[in-house]
Chains A and B, each alone.
Chain A
Amino acid sequence: MRRKRKGIQQGAYEDPLKDYSPPQFEDDLEQALCDTELATVDMKPFDAISPKTKVIDAMKNMAELGIACLMVARDDGKIVGVFTERDVLEKVAEDFEQVKNLPVRVVMTTNPICAYEMDLPAKALNLMATGGFRHIPILDADDHIVGILGPRRVTRFLQTYFTN
């Protein structure tokens, strides 16, 4: 027996989003965390070095610029690691004479957790507050470095919402 196909009755269709209402935010900060992109946060300037750079040169670079983290990237701009003050404390300080002329790839932190510029600021905050990552490299959709977020920049971003 051939069944008769039911046609869509006039007026039976209901818009599933008819009751949709935009999210309500407690305050400006909550909205900034959940309704904007990381690209809106100040994440420049940043500095990147080659994996072949000597440890001592990287350290001089950080001391001169007054920064706590250098990104380590290949020639094509893809990130392979970060070299931070914590790496200096953990892997360099006590063996400084032996380590200072080695390439930075030996002592860097490899495969760092990154975020994308289109991610939410809430993600970067979670990585830092819960994950314990101090510096988060920010990438574009092609995995090229576009900036870096550290605690100072995130605190400054949060601070603007307390003072306003």
Chain B
Amino acid sequence: MGLRENILSDPISTLELRELLAIEPDQTVRSAVELMREKKLGCVVVIDQNGRPLGKFTEHHLLKLLVSNPKGLDCLIKDEMTAVWAQVNLTDPISKALDAMQEKGLRFVVVIDEQGKAVGLTGQKGMMEYIADHFPRQVKVQMMESKLYMDQREGA
């Protein structure tokens, strides 16, 4: 099947989801930063006691927060998170995540299970990995680093 058909039929669960970095609303931005640094991921999801998402906080929010408030790391995450996020179900087709990102201009999409509990993250990088996996002979053979010219003459 072609890529377009796969995106319309494959469920989100076939993507390699990112670990969900969950944080409670009363924790500080500092603890969110520590978590993001430890896990090397640019987004934490604020969840309620039942594991349902309430909002998210990303690297971009951190940047804007520090510019406007140098002491921002001590603020509570519930005051700095954004309630704008997109969520998709594990059984939804991949196209739904793609549309959600495009529609709201988001980098991350929260993945929830049937009970509405947040179970993972996907996003623009997940989509790129999916497409690269679909075209391995075209994409994955490309050199990581290349120069137009050699530094030295060959054999010199």
Interface residues, chain A, CB within 8 Å of chain B? 26-27, 29-30, 33-34, 56, 59-60, 62-63, 68, 85-86, 88-90, 92-94, 96-97, 100, 113, 116, 119-120, 122-123, 125-132, 134, 141, 151-152, 154-156, 158-159, 161-162
Contacts and interface: CB of A to CB of B under 8 A. Distances in A.
For the residues of B in contact with A, the DSSP-based class is helix
A63 B63 contact: yes
Contacts of B115: none
Among A29, A85, A155, chain B packs the most CB atoms within 10 A around the CB of A155
A125 B132 contact: yes
A34 B7 contact: no
Interface residues of B, number: 43
B143 A123 contact: yes
- What 8 pairs across the A-B complex have the smallest Cβ distances? A151-B124, A129-B132, A85-B59, A129-B128, A123-B142, A126-B142, A63-B67, A129-B129
Interface in B123-149: 123-125, 127-129, 131-132, 135, 138-140, 142-146, 148
B153 interface: no
A127 B124 contact: no
Contacts of A123: 142-143, 146
B27 interface: no
B63 A88 contact: yes
B66 A125 contact: no
A25 B63 CA distance: 42
Contacts of B36: 89
Nearest to B123: A151
Nearest to A120: B142
Nearest to A133: B144
A29 B124 contact: no
Interface stretch (B18-26, B47-55, B81-89, B98-106): B98-106
Given A89-B36, A90-B37, A123-B142, A59 B66 contact: yes
28 contacts: A27-B3, A59-B63, A63-B64, A68-B59, A85-B42, A85-B59, A88-B59, A88-B63, A89-B33, A94-B73, A123-B143, A123-B146, A125-B128, A125-B132, A125-B142, A126-B144, A129-B129, A129-B131, A130-B132, A131-B144, A151-B124, A151-B125, A154-B128, A155-B127, A155-B128, A158-B127, A161-B4, A162-B98
